[in-house]
């Protein structure tokens, strides 16, 4: 992983093919910190 990259687990019960992006939200601060586009698993990188 390069500096600043983070990984967040997605529960297996979530079908990510139903979504185009994911939002990073902090419940404690009630603030959105960013988003990430979701790609097909064939184009995802392995770190």
Among residues 8, 2, 3, the alpha carbon closest in space to that of 36 is found at: 8
- The pTM of this model reads 0.50
The pLDDT tens digits of the residues spanning 4-45 come to: 777 778 899 999 889 999 898 889 999 998 888 887 665 444
In degrees and rounded to multiples of 5, residue 10 shows phi and psi of -110, 125
In degrees and rounded to multiples of 5, residue 32 shows phi and psi of -90, 130
Predicted pLDDT of residue 42: 56
Predicted pLDDT of residue 46: 45
Is residue 47 over pLDDT 50?
no
Whether residue 24 contacts residue 10, with contact meaning beta carbons closer than 8 Å, is answered with no
* 26 Cβ contact partners less than 8 Å away, ≥ 6 residues apart: 32, 33
């Amino acid at each position: 992983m390069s500096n600043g990259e983070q990984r967040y687990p997605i529960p297996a019960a979530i079908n990510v093919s139903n979504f185009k992006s994911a939002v990073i939200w902090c419940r404690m601060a009630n603030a959105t910190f960013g988003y990430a586009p979701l790609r097909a698993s064939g184009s995802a990188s392995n770190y």
